[in-house]
Copies of this chain bind each other. A is one copy, B any other.
Amino acid sequence: MQPETILESKSIRCTPIRQAILEILLKKGCPMSYKEVEAFLPEESDRVTIYRTLSLLFRKGIVHRVMDMKGTWRFCAHDPGISGCPGDHAHFECLICGRMDCLTNTCLPYIDVEDGAVVKGKHMVVYGVCSLCMK
């Protein structure tokens, strides 16, 4: 699905930067930090605008986000044409090249918490060395 279509469907004004950022996320298909996204944008792109755009996309449910093992948020868009990706899956992070991947075929386990506590979400990162970096 096209970035513009997605933005319009969420009643978000379709600006060049938003379109560009969403396009990058859709094309890459893996969780990216704002820094990684920035690398694919024109030189003059503003850090805060990228930050706000990613926050907006997240708030509107267009992307999901994962915190990596360095403590930075990574944002990821899966084509909404494909049956709903709730972000409820584990992620793999390579400690060498830094790449992160969605393990969309996994499903996070049920976790028992203390009585009375309410679970809002689950977050799982599996880290190690990816196949490319192992060679």
Contacts and interface: CB of A to CB of B under 8 A. Distances in A.
A24 to B, nearest CB: 22
A67 B114 CA distance: 20
Given A112-B106, A126-B111, A117 B95 contact: no
B127 A121 contact: yes
A130 B117 contact: yes
A118 B96 CA distance: 11
A67 B72 CA distance: 10
A106 to B, nearest CB: 6
Nearest to A113: B92
21 contacts: A71-B71, A71-B72, A92-B114, A95-B120, A103-B112, A103-B113, A106-B112, A111-B124, A115-B131, A116-B131, A117-B128, A118-B128, A118-B129, A119-B127, A120-B128, A120-B129, A122-B125, A122-B127, A123-B124, A123-B125, A123-B126
Contact of A92 (B115, B117, B135): B117
A15 B129 CA distance: 37
Contact of A130 (B109, B114, B134): B114
A93 to B, nearest CB: 9
The 7 A-B pairs with the shortest beta carbon distances in the complex, nearest first, are A116-B131, A71-B71, A120-B128, A119-B128, A124-B124, A123-B125, A109-B109
